[in-house]
Structure 1
Amino acid sequence: MKKIVFLGLLLVAFVACKDSKNNEKPAQESTKEMAYASFGEKIDAENVLTTAQINEKYNNLKVGDTLDVKFTSKINSVCSKKGCWMRLDLGEEKEVMVKFKDYGFFMPLDAEGEVIVNGKAFVQETSVDELKHYAEDAGKSEEEIAKITEPSKTLSFVADGVLLKK
Structure 2
Amino acid sequence: MKKILILGVALIAFIGCEDAKNNEKTAQETKEVNATEMAYASFGEKIEADKALSIAEISKKYDNLKVGDTLAVKFMANINSVCASKGCWMRLDAGDEKEVMVKFKDYGFFMPLDATGEVIVDGKAFVQETSVDELKHYAEDAGNSEEEIAKITESKKTLSFIADGVLLKK
| TM-score higher than 0.5 | yes
Structure 1 residue runs of 4+, over 4 Å off? 25-28
Match of 1:11 in 2: none
Paired with 1:31 and 1:52, the residues of 2 have a C-alpha distance of 27
Unaligned 5+ runs, structure 2 = 1-25
Instruction: Name the structure where helix makes up a greater proportion of residues.
Output: 2
Unaligned 5+ runs, structure 1 = 1-24
1:30 Cα shift? 3.9
CA contact (8 A) 1:33 1:44 kept: no
Match of 2:14 in 1: none
Paired with 1:109 and 1:163, the residues of 2 have a C-alpha distance of 15
1:144-163 aligned at under 5 Å gives the runs 144-163=148-167
Match of 2:127 in 1: 123
Deviation digits for residues 111-153 of structure 1 (CA, Å, limit 9, x no counterpart): 0000000000000000000000000000001010000000000
Match of 1:78 in 2: 82
Q: Residue 54 of structure 2: which of 21, 46, 50 is its match?
A: 50
Match of 2:7 in 1: none
1:33 Cα shift? 2.8
Paired with 2:53 and 2:38, the residues of 1 have a C-alpha distance of 20
Deviation digits for residues 81-139 of structure 1 (CA, Å, limit 9, x no counterpart): 00000000011000000000001100000000000000000000000000000000000
Paired with 1:68 and 1:153, the residues of 2 have a C-alpha distance of 20
Q: Residue 110 of structure 1: which of 110, 114, 129 is its match?
A: 114
1:34 Cα shift? 1.7
Tell me the percent identity: 77
Match of 1:94 in 2: 98
Paired with 1:118 and 1:138, the residues of 2 have a C-alpha distance of 23
User: Radius of gyration: which is bigger?
Assistant: 2
Aligned residues between the structures = 142
Match of 1:60 in 2: 64
Paired with 2:66 and 2:154, the residues of 1 have a C-alpha distance of 19
**Alignment TM-score, normalising by the size of structure 2:** 0.81
Q: Tell me whether 1:39 sits opposite 2:36 in the alignment.
A: no
1:32 Cα shift? 2.6
SS of equivalent to 2:134: helix
Deviation digits for residues 7-43 of structure 1 (CA, Å, limit 9, x no counterpart): xxxxxxxxxxxxxxxxxx9964342332000000000
In the alignment, residue 48 of structure 2 is paired with which amino acid?
D
